[in-house]
């Protein structure tokens, strides 16, 4: 395993005049024909039109973060340094940002003009950036303040405070409420974190701990997330936490992070993670990152979240019976393959995340060939037209409101779509498709069209029309192998009659 030491990356990012047009293979004449123009203020995501930005691809984020005190509501201050490559000649470009404020902005070490336009931080470099050039943008002294989450306001606290400290929950479109970024999963990048906190305060982040230095009453924690990560999956938790080091399991560094006062209770409950890793790896192949574990916070979030390598849970989950909380742990673990390593190309592709995670959550509990499992799917299938009438097709959420993006049809309908695919291709081919998907697109962003093309190639049959009907149809297709299954008619009292259930668990908003 190769590690990047943060000091080396910071040295690279601190450099100026990083233009490298020759790396693209373009001739001077070709570059000269590129007249500089503004980068687009969005990537064209239908659910979030201004999310992400056009004109460049990010290669790396370095986040230098400072928490002045150990108070859970302490404002964060930081500097983000971004290494990117221009995909067009840029006269200006945007970052997404909705924090409290920001300071000086530089591009390649030179002061740049910057101003807010809504959630867009519009940056004018001192000179135009050529297409293909590497460049470094640095936003100093940005600030953001955590808030106490309201469980009735779904995903309403991207930067949240708890009795023990604070943490991040940036899904789907809210990482830029914390730090300036290209906040869309189609632009993944590696990350390093340098987190400056008072002595005695624990700081954790995605990836591996690669350094820890103390001086003058403060401690600097250094983390490296080498594999590409979407911004919405970034996690930094700071406070009175204990890191439960579980050593290595099949080469994976396993650690859990819990409130220190709850460590004795939570430690044995979280230990099942190694069994869960074995379950998932046995089905879909090697775990895609260097580390994994759970971050448990003692507050009401109303959800769990698959922040990369360190899944986020509220403590109340672990007051349940293990038969209830372990499937939720598997759901978030499954996302490390489906949603984290392979990220959605656009947010309408989120069924690829949630349908898969629901499939593995339920098959962890039940044999997919058992009569009970099949009967559970039949009952959920019968509600298909009601789900589509309420929430839209599986692959077409109606808006960017989190309640629409993460609606029950994305989860349950997504899992039933996978059941239908398995019916057509058979269990062995289905498993081959699943392994090929997370292998071929590892570390990348991919679309529903990509999944359909891969499933068609692996199975040796054209599944385009079949899967398009399941993913985008406004009515529920016939279930292969079960001609007797019927779909209930749409009624006028849908919200009162549709139960959110599949498998043994009630449907909950766990990502």
Residue 34: what pLDDT? 81
Residue 28: what pLDDT? 57
Structure tokens at 498: 């549709």
Banded model confidence at residue 493, pLDDT cuts 50, 70, 90: low
pLDDT over 50 at 12, yes or no: no
For 248-337, which CATH class? alpha beta
Which of 28-42, 68-82, 491-505 is the least confident region?
Answer: 491-505
pLDDT over 50 at 10, yes or no: no
pLDDT over 60 at 2, yes or no: no
Structure tokens at 114: 């910057």
Which of 3-7, 279-283, 285-289, 432-436 is the least confident region?
Answer: 3-7
Domain ranges, ordered by start, for the chain:
6-239, 248-337, 342-506
SS3 content of the chain, % helix, strand, coil (to 5): 35, 30, 40
Nearest to 475 by CA among 393, 357, 414: 393
Over the stretch 156-207, which tens digit does the pLDDT of each residue have? 999 999 999 999 999 999 999 999 999 999 999 999 999 999 999 999 999 9
Q: Which contacts qualify for 30-37: CB closer than 8 Å, 24 or more apart?
A: 31/89, 31/130, 31/131, 31/132, 34/88, 34/89, 34/130, 34/131, 35/89, 36/89, 36/90, 36/91, 36/128, 36/129, 37/88, 37/89, 37/90, 37/91
Residue 98: what pLDDT? 98
Residue 85: what pLDDT? 98
Over the stretch 241-271, which tens digit does the pLDDT of each residue have? 999 999 999 999 999 999 999 999 999 999 9
- For residues 350 and 405, is the Cβ–Cβ distance under 8 A? yes
Helix boundaries (H) for 351-488: 351-365, 371-382, 384-391, 402-405, 408, 414-425, 427-440, 448-459, 464-472
Q: Which CATH superfamily is domain 342-506 in?
A: Neutral Protease Domain 2 (1.10.390.10)
* E strand residue ranges, 55-112: 56-67, 76-86, 90-96, 105-107, 110-111
CATH architecture of the domain covering 6-239: Sandwich (2.60)
CA atoms within 13 A on the CB side of 274: 14
Over the stretch 291-315, which tens digit does the pLDDT of each residue have? 999 999 999 999 999 999 999 999 9
- Mean per-residue pLDDT for 410-425? 98
Over the stretch 61-118, which tens digit does the pLDDT of each residue have? 999 999 999 999 999 999 999 999 999 999 999 999 999 999 999 999 999 999 999 9
Banded model confidence at residue 491, pLDDT cuts 50, 70, 90: confident
Mean pLDDT, the chain, rounded, equals 92
* Calpha distance 451→471 (Å, rounded): 11
* Calpha distance 104→113 (Å, rounded): 9
- For residues 5 and 224, is the Cβ–Cβ distance under 8 A? yes
Residue 3: what pLDDT? 31
């Amino acid at each position: 395993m190769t590690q990047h030491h943060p000091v080396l990356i910071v040295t690279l990012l601190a450099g100026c005049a990083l233009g490298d047009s020759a790396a693209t293979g373009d001739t001077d004449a070709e570059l000269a024909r590129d007249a500089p123009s503004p980068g687009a203020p969005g990537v064209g995501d239908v659910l979030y039109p201004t999310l992400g930005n056009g004109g460049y691809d990010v290669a790396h984020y370095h986040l230098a973060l400072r928490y002045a005190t150990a108070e859970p509501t302490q404002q964060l201050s930081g500097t983000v340094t971004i290494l990117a490559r221009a995909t067009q000649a840029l006269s200006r470009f945007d970052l997404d940002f909705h924090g409290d404020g920001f300071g000086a902005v530089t591009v390649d070490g030179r002061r740049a003009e910057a101003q807010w336009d809504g959630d867009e931080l519009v940056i004018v470099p001192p000179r135009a950036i050529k297409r293909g050039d590497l460049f470094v943008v640095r936003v100093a002294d940005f600030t953001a303040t955590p808030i106490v989450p309201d469980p009735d306001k779904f995903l309403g606290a991207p930067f949240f405070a708890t009795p023990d400290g604070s943490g991040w929950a940036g899904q789907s479109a809210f990482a830029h409420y914390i730090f300036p970024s290209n906040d869309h999963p189609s632009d993944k990048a590696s990350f390093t974190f340098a987190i400056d906190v008072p002595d005695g305060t624990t700081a954790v982040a995605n990836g591996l701990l690669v350094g820890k230095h103390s001086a003058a009453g403060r401690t600097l924690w250094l983390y490296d997330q080498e594999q590409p990560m979407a911004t919405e999956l970034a996690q930094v938790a700071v406070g009175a936490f204990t890191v439960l080091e579980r050593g290595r399991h099949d080469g994976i560094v396993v650690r859990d992070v819990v409130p220190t006062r709850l460590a004795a209770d939570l430690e044995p409950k979280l230990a099942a993670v190694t069994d869960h890793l074995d379950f998932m790896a046995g089905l879909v192949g090697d775990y895609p990152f260097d580390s994994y574990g759970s971050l448990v916070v003692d507050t009401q979030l109303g959800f769990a979240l698959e922040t990369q390598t360190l899944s986020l849970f509220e403590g109340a989950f672990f007051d349940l019976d293990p038969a209830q909380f372990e499937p939720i742990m598997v759901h978030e673990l499954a996302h490390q393959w489906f949603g984290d390593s392979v990220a959605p190309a656009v947010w309408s592709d989120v069924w690829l995340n949630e349908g898969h995670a629901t499939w593995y959550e339920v098959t962890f509990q039940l044999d997919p060939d058992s009569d009970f499992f099949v009967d559970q799917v039949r009952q959920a299938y019968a509600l298909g037209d009601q789900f589509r009438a309420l929430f839209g097709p599986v692959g077409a959420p109606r808006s960017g409101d989190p309640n629409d993006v993460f609606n029950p049809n994305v989860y349950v309908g997504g899992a039933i779509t996978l059941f239908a695919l398995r019916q057509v291709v058979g269990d062995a081919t289905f498993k081959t498709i699943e392994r090929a998907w997370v292998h071929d697109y590892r570390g990348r962003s991919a679309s529903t069209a990509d999944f359909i093309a891969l499933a068609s190639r692996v199975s040796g049959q054209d599944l385009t029309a079949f899967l398009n009907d399941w993913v985008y149809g406004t009515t529920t297709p016939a279930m292969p192998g079960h001609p007797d299954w019927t779909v209930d008619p749409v009624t006028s009292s849908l919200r009162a009659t549709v139960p959110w259930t599949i498998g043994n668990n009630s449907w909950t908003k766990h990502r």
